[in-house]
Chain A
Amino acid sequence: MQRKKPSIERVFHALGDPTRRAIVEKLSQGPTSVSRLAEPLDITLAAVVQHLKVLEESGLVQTEKVGRVRTCHIKPAGLSVVEQWIGERRSMWERRFDHLVDLLAEPDESD
């Protein structure tokens, strides 16, 4: 695969899709195999591979195959350590508010 130069447009395109954002979110917790990424997203392996291709082209993600397993990890090309750190702090809050959605969706006895 020809490696394209990372550009801000490619990064925005990559992150414009909610599934790809979910993939990046998951990878921010640590490297994961392609099959383990597909599980919680409830999409086909082929779909994940397509999304990863876009993410790799944007310079956000790198994958490597060791034996039969392809592993992915975050590669924030161009992002400074500080921005990375802040992003991770913000992601932690966003995750909490996502969990709150699930909690509030449950029926409440007092309703």
Chain B
Amino acid sequence: MKTMEERSVIHSTFVIERSYRATPERVFSAFADPAKKRRWFVDGGGHEVEHYEMDFRVGGKERARIRFKEGTPLKGIECTHDTTYQDLVPNRRVVFASTMTVGGKCISASLARFELLPSETGTDLYSHIRQHSSRVPMVLKCVKRDGASYSTD
């Protein structure tokens, strides 16, 4: 019999449109070049990146492992993000499927599609992300145990 936690799956779709003052070639290279991709997609002030690798081709994988720092709600906890590239059209489209784990447990599976459209000012980036989040109560419990945010009152 499934527990409440296992039954709780949240389906979300995010559509995010942004305009960048850079050519589609440069925006695409921010996806294709591991040194660049890591900087905007993985690096962050609240965590240490313990592992990062990327093989940018259809069927290739991007793997990231981070650990949250002191002073953050999930301090000390490890988080992984594994991606498999589904469709790549140079300077036009990136599609990938990802899973994310927190503390070793899978918390989301996503399908992300990015379309790069040339514009007068550079590039319009259209991002469509379909995300299935599971084990939300578990992650919230991790956060609450540290006494930080995610208050429900």
Contact = CB atoms under 8 A, between A and B. Distances in A.
Interface of A: 27-31, 73-76, 81-82, 84-86, 89-90, 93-97, 99-105, 108, 110-111
A22 B125 CA distance: 22
Contacts, number: 85
**Shortest 5 CB-CB contacts between residues of A and residues of B:** A99-B40, A104-B22, A100-B40, A30-B148, A103-B40
Interface in B4-58: 10, 12, 14, 16, 18, 20-22, 26-27, 29-30, 36, 39-41, 43-44, 46
25 contacts: A28-B149, A29-B46, A29-B149, A30-B71, A31-B148, A74-B151, A75-B151, A82-B136, A85-B10, A86-B12, A89-B12, A89-B133, A90-B14, A90-B16, A93-B14, A96-B40, A97-B16, A97-B18, A99-B39, A99-B41, A99-B43, A100-B20, A104-B22, A110-B29, A111-B26
B20 to A, nearest CB: 5
Main secondary structure of the interface of B (DSSP, over half): mixed
Contacts of B18: 97, 100-101
A85 B152 contact: no
Interface residues of B, number: 36
